[in-house]
């Protein structure tokens, strides 16, 4: 668990070591939350931000009539809702898609440390900007790619992000979410996720049945998905040791 904290801190680019230590000192103990639980409710006004230590958290937006969209996914090592420091009211919910462990940092502390340490603030700002880059990529995929390619793209992205925090290797990683959740991430129906998966499976590109995922043909998969990790590079500092 503490490896992860180290990785998270390490990729705060431009921060001094003193900054990192000071931030680390503000981070609370990890708290376990079980799958399906809402971590932060839409409309609420959080007084703290969270660092994800294990599991997957989804950024969930709801439409009155029949729509649920996961507009972002956090993997271990991510700050989950740094932006709530700046935007009082949550315009979406944060949901534990799997069992998760989160550590918290109070906004009061964050505000103080940011004021005292501009380089750290800048690094945290940068984290939220990278989230934005990922978001843009999702939007591009959502707007201009077919369902199967979008799915392939998401697998590529997840692999790269998880590898960067030591949670994926040899084209394998664990993704214990439902096809329904995947559907909400991709903007398609669960039924169609299933069919798209079948297509990719038949092409021998990957294997995933709600738990361990294996990418068989990385090269082909990235080509199909037109996946270019530049938009992630900011998070690509390889895990220390």
Position 10 contacts a second copy (CB under 8 A): no
CB of 40 to DNA, least distance (A): 21
**Residues engaged in binding DNA (CB under 7 A):** 66, 146-148, 178-180, 187-192, 194-198, 209-210
> What gap in Å lies between CA 79 and CA 27, rounded to an integer?
11
Position 22 contacts a second copy (CB under 8 A): no
> What gap in Å lies between CA 40 and CA 48, rounded to an integer?
10
Position 241 contacts a second copy (CB under 8 A): no
Helices (H) and strands (E) in the chain, counts: 8, 11
CB of 48 to a second copy, least distance (A): 16
β pairing state of 212-215 and 206-208: antiparallel
CB 238 within 8 A of CB 164: yes
Position 155 contacts a second copy (CB under 8 A): no
Position 129 contacts a second copy (CB under 8 A): yes
H helical segments located in 34-168: 107-116, 118-144, 147-164
What are the backbone angles phi and psi of residue 60, rounded to the nearest 5°?
Answer: -110, 125
Of positions 22, 44, 54, 71, contacts a second copy by CB under 8 A: 71
CB of 138 to DNA, least distance (A): 15
CB of 7 to a second copy, least distance (A): 19
């Amino acid at each position: 668990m503490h490896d992860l904290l180290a990785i998270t801190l390490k990729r705060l680019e431009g921060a001094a070591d003193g900054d990192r230590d000071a931030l680390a000192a503000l981070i609370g103990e990890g708290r376990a939350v079980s799958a399906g639980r809402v971590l932060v409710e839409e409309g609420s006004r959080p007084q703290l931000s969270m660092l994800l230590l294990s599991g997957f958290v989804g950024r969930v937006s709801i439409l009155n009539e029949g729509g649920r969209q996961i507009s972002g996914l956090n993997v271990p090592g991510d700050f989950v809702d740094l932006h709530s420091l700046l935007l009082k009211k949550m315009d979406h919910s944060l949901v534990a898609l799997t069992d998760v462990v989160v550590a918290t940092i109070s906004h009061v502390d964050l505000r103080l440390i940011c004021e005292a340490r501009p380089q750290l603030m800048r690094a945290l700002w940068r984290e939220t900007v990278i989230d934005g880059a990922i978001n843009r990529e999702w939007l591009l995929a959502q707007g201009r790619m077919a369902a199967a390619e979008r799915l392939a793209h998401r697998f590529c992205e997840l692999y790269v992000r998880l590898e960067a925090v030591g949670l994926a290797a040899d084209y394998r990683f664990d993704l214990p979410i439902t096809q329904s959740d995947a559907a909400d991430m991709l903007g398609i129906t669960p039924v169609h996720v299933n069919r798209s998966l079948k297509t990719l499976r038949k092409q021998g590109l990957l294997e995933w049945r709600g738990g361990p995922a294996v990418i068989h043909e990385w090269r082909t998969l990235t080509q199909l998905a037109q996946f270019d990790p530049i938009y992630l590079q900011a998070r690509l500092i390889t895990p220390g040791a």
